[in-house]
Chains A and B, each alone.
Chain A
Amino acid sequence: AQKITQTQPGMFVQEKEAVTLDCTYDTSDPSYGLFWYKQPSSGEMIFLIYQGSYDQQNATEGRYSLNFQKARKSANLVISASQLGDSAMYFCAMSNYGQNFVFGPGTRLSVLP
């Protein structure tokens, strides 16, 4: 069975600094995808970044990058130059070929002015 672990219930970061949100996963499938989503207080899940298990390079999307360490089964999200609007819940998720989406419990990020 697939499982996502996010060990940081809450994180604080100063505006303009970088922050890393941790995610570890467990699966026996060789082919899978890893996702990060942001959920503001409004409730909508916003897609941030995706990494395939066979991708050789770490994914990047603007200020977001995914630190993918396959051997350690970790997929940490790095947010550079934090902004006040980054305050939200962040969820790590994984999927096997578009199915079996499993989400972690989330990390609440608070950006301080």
Chain B
Amino acid sequence: DAGVTQSPTHLIKTRGQQVTLRCSPKSGHDTVSWYQQALGQGPQFIFQYYEEEERQRGNFPDRFSGHQFPNYSSELNVNALLLGDSALYLCASSIVQGPQTYEQYFGPGTRLTVT
């Protein structure tokens, strides 16, 4: 049973460019969330996708957008890259099985460096 996978592993971009990160959820999971983790900090929630729609969004500008496909995989797009966008981007897949029964598993992350 494959876990959460992300691609690419590492990425180097220049300021002003656009980037697309990809995520495939764990088998059986229907929800995908994206997080940004700056060096030395905890992950910050970007947004969550469920049934191909953005269900929830954190405090991130519109330069950050996403998509979920019918097979539950997801993409994170960042436009007009800034130096401050350099971080580890984590994808997590989850499923809600009851009012208090849910799990969330993370992928290995994509390390984005903006120069």
Report A's interface with B, CB cutoff 8 A.
4, 31, 33, 35, 37, 42-47, 50, 52-55, 91, 93, 95, 97-106
Residues of B that sit less than 8 Å from A by CB: 31, 33, 35, 41-45, 48, 55-56, 88, 90, 92, 94-96, 99-109, 111
B111 CB to nearest chain A CB (Å): 7
Q: Is the interface of A mostly helix, strand, loop or mixed?
A: strand
**Which of B42, B56, B101 has the most chain A CB within a 10 Å cutoff?**
B42
CB-defined contacts of A106 to chain B, threshold 8 Å = 41-42
Is the pair B100, A52 in contact by a Cβ cutoff of 8 Å? yes
Q: Are B100's CB and A95's CB within 8 A?
A: no
Question: Within 8 Å CB of A4, what residues of B?
Answer: 42
CB-defined contacts of A46 to chain B, threshold 8 Å: 106
A99 touches B56 (CB 8 A): yes
Nearest A residue to B102 via CB reads: A98
With a cutoff of 8 Å between Cβ atoms, the chain B residues found around residue A101 in the complex are 33, 35, 45, 92, 104
The 9 closest A-B pairs by CB, nearest first: A52-B100, A45-B106, A103-B42, A98-B96, A98-B102, A44-B108, A43-B109, A103-B43, A105-B42
Q: How far is the CA of A2 from the CA of B79 in the complex (A)?
A: 29
- A47–B42 Cα gap in the complex (Å)? 14
**List of A residues within 8 angstroms of B94 by Cβ:** 98
A45-B102 in contact (CB<8A): no
Q: Which of B45, B56, B90 contacts A45 (CB 8 A)?
A: B90
Contact A43 B43 (CB under 8 A): no
